[in-house]
Every structure is written in structure tokens, then in C-alpha cells.
Structure 1
């Protein structure tokens, strides 16, 4: 049975798996989460780790993850100014998913 875009969207909005995939389902978002699983990082550290990804893209992904409650942005009152990014409790809860994906990739791809 063919479905309209609105029917597909409604189905996806009701499915926890689809909602999660919608948030973390692109490559750069997963890589940012992967990098923040080990420790808090400054923007430059993320940029270095994600070489080839534009600063604008990293900034957009970090803002999106912050809006979704997965990343914290902490500003320090120092000169020069310093900002660090870390995972929230909800962001850290993704560690099992990330590790499972890493294991799958190592074993099968």
C-alpha cells in the first residue's frame, strides 16, 4: 500500500527507533558524539578530529545536539575565551549504540 509523505512522517514520529535515527543518523553527528564520549573537548579539538568537515557544519551539528539535549556547551570566563563541549546524561546514554555500531563495522564491514 502506498503512503503519503504525511502518513510516513506520522509513522516515523511514533517510532522510538525512527526518532533516534532522525537525531543521530548522519555521519558527522555520530562522529561528534563518538569524540565526546571519552572527554570534554574544545571546538578546535573536534575540528582536528573531524578533518575535512567544515567549521560551519561542525558548529551546526553542535548547536543541533545542544538543542536536542545531548551536548552541553560550557563557556569559561578566561582570556582568551574558552568553550568546551561535553555530552549530557542523555548523550552519554548513546554510548552502547555507538559501541555496537563500531563493533558491527569492525566485524562485518
Structure 2
């Protein structure tokens, strides 16, 4: 479920979930295989732990991510995309193509990411 959608507009409601500066980066990391909190923290964007915790909770609440414990003491989780989360792959690929075309200096994503298809 979405936290307080501002309207029924599909763009606005999507942005209510993924429209901040961190959520799409977390989704990108999930799409390239990161699963654990420490792996997300190692990304070059240097997300703060409290922000990462909040974004993972938001993604779980929205049904885009599930978490599974991999360690009980202390309790630690692995995160994975649901089908709903995985369905955002073409959107992120399109954003990469757009940025590479119009924003000089952007990284070229790995071919494995760009050729990947939704499961």
C-alpha cells in the first residue's frame, strides 16, 4: 500500500513510492543482485543507514520488496524484489538510456543490466 497518495494520477502515485533521491538507487542495487544491508551501503552514492532503513521499509510496504532473515542473532535480513518490483526494470533501463543520451559524464550501465528482461 502507498503512504497517503496525493491523487489518483498514475505518475503522481508512482512518484509517491519511487520519487525521492534514493529509492530508485536502492531498486537499481536490488536489480543488479544486492541483497544485504551492507551491500547497499557500499554503493558509490553513500546512502545513510537511517535513509536506507526507511527506503527498504517503504519498498516492502508498497509490495516491491520482501525481506527474509538470514541470521537470527543479531537478526539480519536479505531483501529481494517481488514481481511488482522487478516490473520496474524497463523503467530504470529507459532512465539509463535517457541519461546516457542527454547527460554528459553518466556511467554506461553494464550490458547484463541493459539486456536483462523482466521475469
TM class by shorter chain equals 0.7 to 0.9
Contact kept? 1:28, 1:61, Cα under 8 Å: yes
Structure label with greater radius of gyration = 1
CA gap 1:19/1:57 in 2 versus in 1, 3 angstroms: same
Provide the rounded CA distance (Å) in 1 between the counterparts of 2:22 and 2:35. Answer: 16
TM-score (norm 1): 0.81
Higher relative contact order (CA 8 A, sep 6+): 1
Alignment-derived partner of residue 3 in structure 1: none
Shift of 1:76: 2.3
Deviates more, 1:50-59 or 1:92-101: 50-59
Shift of 1:39: 2.1
TM-score (norm 2): 0.74
Contact kept? 2:71, 2:77, Cα under 8 Å: no
Cα RMSD after superposing both structures? 2.2
In proportion to residue count, which structure has more helix?
Answer: 1
Contact kept? 2:65, 2:80, Cα under 8 Å: yes
Alignment-derived partner of residue 18 in structure 2: 24
Structure 1 unmatched runs, 5+: 1-8
The size of the alignment, in residue pairs, is: 100
Structure 2 unmatched runs, 5+: 104-119
